[in-house]
Amino acid sequence: MPSNNLGAAHLADNPLLYEPQRTNNFYFIVNDIDGILRAAPSSYSETNRTIDNAQSRLFYSVSAVSFPYFTQSPISIARGNSDIKVAGKPTFGDGSLTIRDFIGTDGKSVLMAWQALSYDVETEAVGRMADYKKDCTLIEYTPDNAEVVRYYDLKGCWVGGIGSVERSYDGNDAATVQATIYFDKAIMRVPETETPVNV
């Protein structure tokens, strides 16, 4: 046990070990959404129905993400005067995505087009999983952007809801758009190995 265990000197002497991970050093990528159809095609000409560079539009609009770890409810097995608890079925919580509502990149249209793949408001048709479920990647990197610390493969993501739009004459804030993202599972990986660690 080091003599200075009550202070921060040990951390300062080992900067490679104790560099803190920042909350703002991340990338969020949605795969396979380039050329996605707009959610409201009737408002556009036939030549402007698709959204070019949808993946990069969303990438540069992302402000915050949250994809929780799974939880497990216990299964209780009783015998005699006692019982034991064993692991039950895992459940992944709902993810969330917040984007800045940039006028030029129009990330909101990308989100709405993605959501329209699961339910089309005009036709009232529910889409097929092969169309609306997308794999995503959440990457955490070092403050100098030189090294990937860890990344998460997010499987089967889709837009379950987009937050209501609130506008106020009294406000002076940049607008954001919040979306609920459902996903099947998250697999955490570290760059040195391909061995998955479930989170």
What are the pLDDT tens digits along the chain (199 aa)? 555 567 888 888 888 888 999 999 999 999 999 988 887 655 555 556 789 899 999 999 999 999 988 999 999 999 999 999 999 999 999 999 999 999 999 999 999 999 999 998 888 999 999 999 999 999 999 999 999 999 999 999 999 999 977 888 998 989 999 999 999 999 999 987 544 444 4
Which tokens hold the place of 48? 């402007």
For 35, other C-beta atoms within 10 Å of its C-beta total 12
- For 68, list phi and psi in degrees, rounded to 5: -70, 155
Domain positions in the chain are: 20-70+84-198
Measured CA distances, 146 to 24, 26, 28, 65, 149 (Å): 15, 12, 17, 21, 10
Q: What is the CATH number of domain 20-70+84-198?
A: 2.30.110.20
Measured CA distances, 26 to 6, 148, 169 (Å): 32, 9, 33
Q: Note whether 44 and 65 are within 8 A (CB).
A: no
Give ∠ CA 53-29-163 in degrees, rounded to 5: 85
Q: What is the pLDDT of residues 161-188, one digit of tens each?
A: 999 778 889 989 899 999 999 999 999 9
Which residues are CB-contacts of 130 (< 8 A; sequence separation ≥ 6)?
none
| DSSP per position, 154-173 | EEEEEEEEEPPP---TT--S
Which residues make beta-bridge pairs with 74? 87
Which residues are CB-contacts of 156 (< 8 A; sequence separation ≥ 6)?
129, 133, 135, 182, 183, 184, 185
